[in-house]
Amino acid sequence: TAIQIAVGPLSNVEPALLKRAFSLAREGTIASKAQLQIEVMPVRVWCEACQLESPASANRLVCDGCGGWRVELRSGDELLLKRIEMIDLAA
């Protein structure tokens, strides 16, 4: 009945296009009325220099605290299946 996923801006997945593809792919299947729920994850980086985890933009991966560029991506590139809701058709 529902599928929940998490998508980051750096995952190369466009949520609107994924929703459209899902609506086409589900037609004619037992999941024809299933809803796709997309959670857009934030881009977050961890800075080696100041030991701070902070938000960043997809096209500017720098520390929000010190402006350093030696950062490790902590979130923002996900494409995760978080939850599937189903009903028992045999019941």
**DSSP H stretches of helix in 48-91:** none
Which strands, in side-by-side order, build the sheet including 79-85?
Answer: 35-40, 2-7, 79-85
Element (H, E) at 48: none
Of 52, 27, 53, 28, the C-alpha closest to 42 is: 53
pLDDT value of position 89: 77
pLDDT in tens, the chain (91 residues): 999 999 999 999 999 999 999 999 999 998 999 999 999 999 999 999 999 999 999 999 999 999 999 999 999 999 999 999 998 877 7
Distance CA 37, CA 30 (A): 18
Rounded to two decimals, the pTM is 0.80
